[in-house]
Amino acid sequence: MKKVFKFRLILAFLVIACIANAQKYRLEAGYTNPDRFGANVSSTYFNGIQLGGTAEFDLKNNVSLLTGVLYNFVYSNKIQTYPNRDSVIYSSFGHFLDIPLRVIYSVPVNKNLRFFGFAGPNLNIGLFQNQKTSSSLSTSLNLFNNVVPGKTDLYKNSILNRLNLQIGVGGGVQWKNYQLKSGYDFGITNLNKTSIDNLYQKGWYVTFAYEFNQKK
């Protein structure tokens, strides 16, 4: 736990330092596709939007450091089928924050065009996730399969951990002030707070960004 706390403290310090000294600032918006998976449970796929702001601090030799804060709103409608046409439907809305810290390497083509790749950690913070469970199973089967019909907040009711440390990679292209990028984050934090089974969240995203301020 002490190592995790120290890492989060270092990450927070680097994020603040990068934002304060950044040469480039961008607004970003795009599509995100998280996947929650684990042992003894079927995957839950989400679709949603991502938007926020990022700051980039130039280092040397086409290397830079990027961070920011990105808000995610996602939705999932998962149907778990059983024999005799029985089913359980999990409808979920999620609200997350992403705080990335990426090392970027750029390959300039000319003064207006560059390609780039990036890698680094991302701290995914769960804000709210309301889930509605609708079941056509009998009461005994609900109990046997640990299905609890009704509505619940997965964070407030201590079902999921709010903090999810991820490691991500990706790349993109920038032309003048316009940027298109895509990446994948791999979750390394067990989100499950109710059993010993592991539960992780990873995800793919694609975003469009506009660079609106640059210090000379």
- How far is it, in rounded angstroms, from Cα 134 to Cα 78? 11
- How far is it, in rounded angstroms, from Cα 98 to Cα 168? 12
Measured at the CA of 15, the angle between CA 54 and CA 1, to 5 degrees, comes to 130
Percent of the chain with pLDDT over 90: 58
**What's the pLDDT at 142?**
56
Task: Tell me the per-residue pLDDT of 104-139, one tens digit each, with 9 for 90 and over.
Answer: 999 999 999 999 999 999 999 999 999 888 776 656
**What's the pLDDT at 12?**
61
Q: 211 and 25 in contact (C-beta within 8 Å)?
A: yes
The domain tally of the chain equals 1
Q: Which of 158, 88, 157, 92 is nearest to 129 (CA)?
A: 92
pTM to 2 decimals? 0.84
Tokens of 132: 């509605």
What is the CATH classification number for the domain harbouring 157? 2.40.160
Percent of the chain with pLDDT over 70: 81
Task: Tell me the per-residue pLDDT of 90-105, one tens digit each, with 9 for 90 and over.
Answer: 899 999 999 999 999 9
Q: 28 and 53 in contact (C-beta within 8 Å)?
A: yes
**What's the pLDDT at 34?**
97
- Across the strands, what pairs with 54? 26, 68
Tokens of 23: 């040469």
Pairing of strands 199-214, 24-38: antiparallel
Q: Which of 41, 141, 44 is nearest to 87 (CA)?
A: 141
Q: 183 and 205 in contact (C-beta within 8 Å)?
A: yes
Q: What is the DSSP letter of 14?
A: H
Q: Which of 176, 156, 68 is nearest to 118 (CA)?
A: 68
- How far is it, in rounded angstroms, from Cα 12 to Cα 200? 23
Range of the domain at 204: 2-214
In sequence order, which ranges of the chain are alpha helices (DSSP H)?
2-20, 139-144
**What's the pLDDT at 45?**
95
**What's the pLDDT at 3?**
53
pLDDT at 4 exceeding the cut of 90: no
- Residue 81 vs residue 207, higher pLDDT: 207
Q: Which of 17, 11, 46, 34 is nearest to 184 (CA)?
A: 34
pLDDT at 7 exceeding the cut of 60: no
